[in-house]
């Protein structure tokens, strides 16, 4: 175990351990480091320990990200008395093992999405979370796009009925980092580690936004998945890609909406484009993550869209950030997420989205895979 000179937070603040120090570990570390200074009323935290397999690499990351210590044994870390919150940022095949062990050790848990690689594993995580909740130990799944101010505002307009009855939704998540056939093999392309490809990685966000924005559950799907590049160069030579590159689906909800879904890592020139369009009987809205401070609105029967910059002080999450017009970035979603988690824990309440929300998304993803395996036939989503 390696120590660094200092870490944020006072001695009485909850101690956090982040398991994993790569892309998501960095994003979550940034949030824990800044949450108390940027979110009004957010409790401080102690950035206690960053955990990873490579002792030298994780020690370097801990120093860079502001952690007091680094470690390589997550099992030992979750037993420590100075750790109160365990933040799971490892590949999907480890989510269940780490989260369940941490909850059973009496630690609050936030786990990155998707909740698990399989439906069975997600169900075990929910069962453990429910048992832990009886003892005041709480859990949360990291769907950070629920903390985009424009999307929270969109949800508010839908809930207030300003679009009328929601009829149609289009949701797409387009990336291009695998569009090049020469892009190398990574863990995200191995089913045993990632569970699925674009479907689990991007589709989980898309499905969660349907549930979040509409307040409705997906009840049935017709779907197709495809792997465009079936072999990629690994360290020891060519390897088979065992997950999907893209997925398409038609989803139906219990509120009567029909959803068109597309997720892909093969959309040339699209870097991180989560696009959402909602059409109701009396209005519409649209959003693009590549312009995350904007929301296009057509409300209460008005004609045509108007573009709104969602940075005013009375807009969701903007208090404590910057003056109006000074836009937020992608990293702000993780800071807002950390603040919401800390506020819920301080109040003794279950944070949202819960592990049950993660399981609901997992059931839709499983139905999409089943439909694709059956040639696109309709599959009901388990309740």
What pLDDT digit, counting tens, does each position of 116-125 carry? 999 999 999 9
Residue 379 confidence (pLDDT) above 90: yes
CA-to-CA distance for 275 and 297, rounded, in angstroms?
Answer: 14
All domains in the chain, ordered by first residue: 2-144 (3.40.50.720), 145-380 (3.30.360.10)
- pLDDT for the residue 383: 77
CA-to-CA distance for 21 and 18, rounded, in angstroms?
Answer: 7
- One-character DSSP codes across 61-117: HHHHHT-SEEES-HHHHTT-TT--EEEE-S-GGGHHHHHHHHHHTT-EEEEESSS-S
Residue 8 confidence (pLDDT) above 60: no
- pLDDT for the residue 1: 58
What pLDDT digit, counting tens, does each position of 30-44 carry? 999 999 998 888 888
Mean pLDDT of the chain, nearest integer: 96
CA-to-CA distance for 273 and 291, rounded, in angstroms?
Answer: 9
- pLDDT for the residue 41: 86
Confidence of residue 9 (pLDDT cuts 50, 70, 90): low
Question: Considering the chain, what percentage of its residues have pLDDT values greater than 70?
Answer: 97
What pLDDT digit, counting tens, does each position of 96-137 carry? 999 999 999 999 999 999 999 999 999 999 999 999 999 999
Residue 10 confidence (pLDDT) above 90: no
Task: Name the CA dihedral angle for 59, 100, 337, 257, rounded to a multiple of 10 degrees.
Answer: 140
For residue 86, what are the contacts with CB-CB under 8 A and spacing of at least 6?
16, 17, 19, 77, 78, 98, 99, 102, 107, 108, 109, 110
CA-to-CA distance for 339 and 32, rounded, in angstroms?
Answer: 9
Give the torsion sign (CA, 78, 25, 364, 213): positive
Confidence of residue 4 (pLDDT cuts 50, 70, 90): very low
Q: 379 forms bridges with which residues in the sheet? A: 221
- pLDDT for the residue 7: 47
Question: Considering the chain, what percentage of its residues have pLDDT values greater than 90?
Answer: 94
- pLDDT for the residue 160: 98
Residue 6 confidence (pLDDT) above 60: no
What pLDDT digit, counting tens, does each position of 42-75 carry? 888 999 999 999 999 999 999 999 999 999 999 9
Token duo for residue 65: 């990200």
Token duo for residue 290: 């590549």
Give me the mean pLDDT over the 305-330 stretch: 96
CA-to-CA distance for 368 and 380, rounded, in angstroms?
Answer: 10
Residue 5 confidence (pLDDT) above 80: no
- pLDDT for the residue 43: 85
CA angle 42, 47, 49 (to 5 degrees): 150
Token duo for residue 16: 């956090």
User: β-strand 284-288 against 294-298: which pairing, if any?
Assistant: antiparallel
Q: Are 253 and 217 in contact (CB under 8 A)?
A: yes
3-state SS assignment for residue 218: strand
What pLDDT digit, counting tens, does each position of 136-195 carry? 999 999 999 999 999 999 999 999 999 999 999 999 999 999 999 999 999 999 999 999
- pLDDT for the residue 2: 54
CA-to-CA distance for 266 and 164, rounded, in angstroms?
Answer: 35
Give me the mean pLDDT over the 270-293 stretch: 98
């Amino acid at each position: 175990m390696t120590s660094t000179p200092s870490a944020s937070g006072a001695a009485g603040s909850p101690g956090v351990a982040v398991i994993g120090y790569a892309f998501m570990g960095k994003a979550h570390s940034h949030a824990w480091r800044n949450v108390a200074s940027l979110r009004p009323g957010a409790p401080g935290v102690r950035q206690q320990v960053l955990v990873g397999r490579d002792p030298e690499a994780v020690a370097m990351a801990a120093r860079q990200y502001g952690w007091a210590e680094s470690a390589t044994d997550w099992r030992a870390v979750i037993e420590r008395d100075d750790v109160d919150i365990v933040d799971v940022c490892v590949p999907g095949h480890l989510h269940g093992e780490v989260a369940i062990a941490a909850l059973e050790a009496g630690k609050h848990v936030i786990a990155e999405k998707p909740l698990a690689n399989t439906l069975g594993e997600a169900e075990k995580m929910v069962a453990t979370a429910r048992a832990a909740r009886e003892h005041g130990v709480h859990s949360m799944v990291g769907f950070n796009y629920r903390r985009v101010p424009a999307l929270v505002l969109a949800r508010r307009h839908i809930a207030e009925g300003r679009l009328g009855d929601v009829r149609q939704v289009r949701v797409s998540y387009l990336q291009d980092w695998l569009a090049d056939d020469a892009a190398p093999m990574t863990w995200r392309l191995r089913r045993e580690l990632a569970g699925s490809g674009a479907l689990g990685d991007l589709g989980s966000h898309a499905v969660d936004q349907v549930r979040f924005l509409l307040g409705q559950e997906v009840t049935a799907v017709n779907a197709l998945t495809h792997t465009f590049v079936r072999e990629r160069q690994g360290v020891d030579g060519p390897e088979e890609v065992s997950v999907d590159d893209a997925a398409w689906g038609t989803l139906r909800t219990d509120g009567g909406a029909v959803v068109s879904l597309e997720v892909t890592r093969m959309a040339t020139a699209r870097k991180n484009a989560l696009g959402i369009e909602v059409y109701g009987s009396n209005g519409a809205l649209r959003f693009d993550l590549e312009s995350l401070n904007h929301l296009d609105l057509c409300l209460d029967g008005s004609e045509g869209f108007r573009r709104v910059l969602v940075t005013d002080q009375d807009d969701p999450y903007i208090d404590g950030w910057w003056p109006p017009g000074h836009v937020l970035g992608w990293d702000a979603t993780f800071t807002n997420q950390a603040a919401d988690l800390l506020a819920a824990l301080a109040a003794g309440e279950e944070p949202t989205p819960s592990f049950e929300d993660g399981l609901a998304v997992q059931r839709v993803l499983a139905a999409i895979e089943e439909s694709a395996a059956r040639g696109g036939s309709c599959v009901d989503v388990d309740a």
